[in-house]
Amino acid sequence: MTGNKQHETGKVKTMKKLLQVLGKIRTPFVAAASVLALVLGVTAPLQAKAANEITFVSPAWIPGTVTAIKDAITAWNKANPNTPVKLIPGDWDSLGDQLTTQFASKTAPDVIMFDSISIRDYAKRGYLADLTSLMRPLQSQIPVGEWKASSYNGRLVGVPFLDQTYVVFANVDMFKKAGVAIPTNPGGITWDEFAALAKKMTTPTSYGLTYGLLKPASSFMIMSSNFGAQWFRGYTTGRASLRVTQSELEVPLRVYDMVYKDKSIDPASLTISAGASLAPFLAGKTSMLLMGSYAASDLDVAAKEKGFNWTVLPLLKGTSQGQGANPQTFSINALSTKKKDAARFIQFLMQGKYLSKIALGDGLVPLTSDALKAGIEAKKDSPGWSQIFADGGNFTLAPFAFVPEFAQWKSTVLQPSLQQFIQNKITKEELVKRLEDGWKNLR
């Protein structure tokens, strides 16, 4: 009761002060504004601080990544009180539509976290700032392919900071029980060796591999670089043409054979997403899992909570171990009035101590040499993580990354056609026809 009375007394004193102010002010509008200022405690310095606020949209959703980003922002805000960063949570599935609307209405945030392929169309429309000179100090730390993949017409429009490899995870205990050695060749495991291994690990009660094939387009395209697939020609002139040859078909044909000829891939894989494929692997229904490296963060949790013993095989190899680069990027709105401060914030996030934690939270490969070293040190006792980080030097420049219309073709033509093929509903010849005709019709 005593506390409540003291609180009431404070309110009375405050109201008296407000009434005194009102009595001295003749204009109702000014009076109301003054009262509001006193009630909210608004002062000139706070107004200036709000005006200098940097807005930052991030679609990150994995808890470890979100925490790492928030911690970095807290550190920035503490060191830069006059240019604080406001985090705006986004969603990977809807961010593209959201940004399209915001750019059109000139309300897009200052700093944008997305990926190199998705930002290409915005760069084409002039919505993104040229970061080439602002980010020059970082260029020597980032792989050339990643830098070029994040550029448009020779201008850096997004700072590449994370990328994922498609890797083969292995259940160590299942391999031990089967008496089969887990490959460790640093030069990679060939697709032929991988297919033979999956067949060898297939038993009457378990499959050699699970691989979420409900939407296979991204993984097939990225891994097609294993065989030197080009897909698009003439993209540097703005008149890209699509040509599907044996190199482009290598990955889908090999996966098809593993499903229907070898019967080493769990047939349930045909109708489940990449994320859903983790469950059968953790349940011991398959000895291997082909998935983006981000699954490592979930496997870390399983290892801690259930003692799940996992590792990662050497990167798959065709004529090379190359995988097409499609890095996550940081971009700056071309209309932002805080470009230099926004650039300083991006450089702050790119420091090894912050970027390595963001990468570990996402299960991805950090793209600066400093962050990669920090990540390797943090996970030096994990063979799986060590392999993921070792794979970081295999990102190559994917030709499709330079084709602005690629994203539309991928979603409307490539994805449904590959689904039909991998589900044995169309032939290889029909697949090629659909892909090439679909591109011509799109153009």
pLDDT greater than 90 at residue 24: no
239 and 285 together in one domain: yes
82 and 144 together in one domain: yes
pLDDT in tens, 249-307: 999 999 999 999 999 999 999 999 998 999 999 999 999 999 999 999 899 999 999 99
300 and 188 together in one domain: yes
Q: Is residue 339 part of a domain?
A: yes
pLDDT greater than 60 at residue 45: no
157 and 177 together in one domain: no
Q: Which of the listed residues 353, 376, 392 is the one where a domain comes to its end? A: 392
- In this prediction, residue 393 carries a pLDDT of 82
C-alpha distances out from residue 366 to 223, 313, 394, Å: 19, 19, 13
Q: Is residue 263 part of a domain?
A: yes
pLDDT in tens, 221-243: 999 999 999 999 887 666 789 99
309 and 418 together in one domain: yes
333 and 346 together in one domain: yes
Q: Name the domain count of the chain.
A: 2
pLDDT in tens, 314-365: 999 999 999 998 899 999 999 999 999 999 999 999 999 999 999 999 889 9
Looking at every residue in the chain, the average pLDDT score rounds to: 88
Q: Which CATH number is 107's domain given? A: 3.40.190.10
247 and 369 together in one domain: no
Q: Which of the listed residues 392, 416, 432 is the one where a domain comes to its end? A: 392
294 and 201 together in one domain: yes
281 and 413 together in one domain: yes
- In this prediction, residue 7 carries a pLDDT of 37
241 and 381 together in one domain: no
Q: Which of the listed residues 392, 417, 432 is the one where a domain comes to its end? A: 392
* Full residue range of the structural domain in which residue 414 is found: 166-325+398-442
pLDDT band at 133 (very low <50, low <70, confident <90, very high): very high
